[in-house]
Copies of this chain bind each other. A is one copy, B any other.
Amino acid sequence: MVNLSEVTTHLQNDIPIIRAMGIELVAWDGLRVAVAAPLAPNQNHADTAFGGSIATVGIVAGYALLYLIFLERQISTRILIQKSATDYLRPIDEDMTATATVTDAAMLEEFLETMKRKRRARMEIESRIICRNATAATHRGLFVAMVY
């Protein structure tokens, strides 16, 4: 069983800006992760969320999805991001949540199989950044994981 509060502390210790942004893992069901971030530390000049924070929350959701997949399977890996793309759809004027989901179980199996065979594999992960129950931004990340 994964303890999300422990994983949050671990990520915040590893990556101090995650702590500065107040990003926390709040839900995980084996295929879908949710991370939350408060508005205050992530505000911009217009009292909405800053674009850099929104992109980062999207990246962290994708990173956390892979991190938890490997943690549950006790595979020790290094995860890096190769490409990140954010579309900003509407202003975020409240706390935000980002979710990242394995939409295709077969793709996950193939990814894990490639990891076993080649010791590295790539996966594109989409995150949705939600505020007031509406999608306010989307993020696509291309991640590479390497057996460590």
Contacts and interface: CB of A to CB of B under 8 A. Distances in A.
Contacts of A100: none
Nearest to A50: B15
B81 A88 contact: yes
B84 A85 contact: yes
A87 to B, nearest CB: 6
Interface string A61-105: 001000000000000001011111111100000000000000000
Contacts of A52: 15, 17-18, 52, 55-56, 59-60
A12 to B, nearest CB: 11
Contacts of A88: 80-84
Interface of A: 14-18, 20-21, 41-46, 50-53, 55-56, 59-60, 63, 78, 80-88
Given A51-B80, A56-B56, 12 more contacts: A15-B44, A16-B43, A17-B17, A17-B20, A17-B21, A17-B42, A18-B50, A20-B20, A51-B63, A81-B88, A82-B87, A82-B88
